[in-house]
Structure 1
Amino acid sequence: MQPTIETRAEQPYVSIRTQATLAEWGRVNALIGEVYGWITERDIAPAGALFYRYHSVTDDVLDVEVGVPLAAAVAGDDTVVAGSKPAGQYAVLLHRGHPDRIRETFAALDEWSAATGVGFDVTDGVWAGRFESYLSDPAEVPDPADWRTEVAYRVRD
């Protein structure tokens, strides 16, 4: 598996940010319905795939946002916040299969980075842009073994 380098524009989104361990991941997944419910109530259409944005991982605790890209920026509230995916170059790799195996794709990106010397945009353990976008709709592709998930890491300038 070899990643591609893509230049991406800034992308507005709304999300809910939380911290959780892998054992608590069901609580993170439960935020999907809350974010989609929020945009549905406001008659806002998604402009891309649901994503997780990882900010940091410390002591097995993940600081993560569950988000949905939008065509234009909107105001958030006390629960759902407005943000944006930063513009820049991203190393992108497609994960095929169950999300429980996505660490294989993370490892492939790390190995590629080590082999090529292309560094990711991380400062003091905080990622400027680390995204996991779920390209498959479970209503259309019910078997997680057949899902496609894009993993994109912002490359250091």
Structure 2
Amino acid sequence: MPEIVQIGERPYVAVRGKVAMDGIAAFADRMGEVIAWLAAKEIAPNDAPFFKYDVVDMEAGLVMEIGFPVDDLRSGEGEIVTGVLPAGRYATVRHHGHPDGLLGATRDLLGWAEKEGLEWDADGDHWTARLEVYRSDPREVPDMNNWDTDLQFKLKD
């Protein structure tokens, strides 16, 4: 069942790209670039990796980031970007199962918020913070059907 939680601001490091709807899996492979950059800078992530959807346009494609929260804001280099996930109220729900089920989980979260009369912190297709946080480490949970993923969508203040 979805809930509303207060989350503090979170600095992060990520790679950003424009992605077609059918290209998300290929873009996810770029997570290794972020991991390598963090390792080279001797920066340890302080939480699970995430996908951040900045623009969600089912026809034109997505603008998204794949990254990790870190303790301190740094400057990016090349295709590595940095930013801060804003503090605020987030509608959140945990999805247990294969990432293919996230589309349905997202639809359900959006529908729940509409029924509750909640407003997203978004301007049309442009979102302030719409996240999928991957709680399961594939090295520890190799079966994607057993993964836990949190959806965290920022609500308007």
Fold-level match, TM-score > 0.5?
A: yes
Cα distance in 2, alignment partners of residues 8 and 25 from structure 1: 26
- Structure 2 gap segments, 5+ residues each: none
Cα distance in 1, alignment partners of residues 65 and 23 from structure 2: 14
Cα distance in 2, alignment partners of residues 30 and 84 from structure 1: 23
| 1:82 alignment counterpart | 82
- Range moving further from structure 2, 54-63 or 128-137: 54-63
The aligned runs of 1:1-157 (5 Å cut-off) are 2-58=1-57, 59-157=59-157
Q: Structure 1 residues 108 and 26, CA, compared in 2 at 3 Å: closer, same or farther?
A: closer
- Structure 1 gap segments, 5+ residues each: none
RMSD: 1.0
Cα distance in 2, alignment partners of residues 79 and 94 from structure 1: 30
Per-residue CA deviation, residues 5-33 of structure 1 (Å, 9 max, x unaligned), is 11111100001110111322233112110
Q: TM-score, normalised by structure 1?
A: 0.95
Cα distance in 2, alignment partners of residues 112 and 26 from structure 1: 27
**4+ runs of 1 displaced by more than 3 Å?**
none
What secondary structure does 1:142 align onto?
coil
Cα distance in 2, alignment partners of residues 153 and 24 from structure 1: 22
**CA shift at 1:114, angstroms?**
1.4
Cα distance in 2, alignment partners of residues 54 and 9 from structure 1: 19
Per-residue CA deviation, residues 24-66 of structure 1 (Å, 9 max, x unaligned), is 2233112110000100111110010100000112215111001
**CA shift at 1:72, angstroms?**
1.2
**CA shift at 1:81, angstroms?**
1.0
What secondary structure does 1:91 align onto?
strand
Q: TM-score, normalised by structure 2?
A: 0.95
Percent identity reads 34
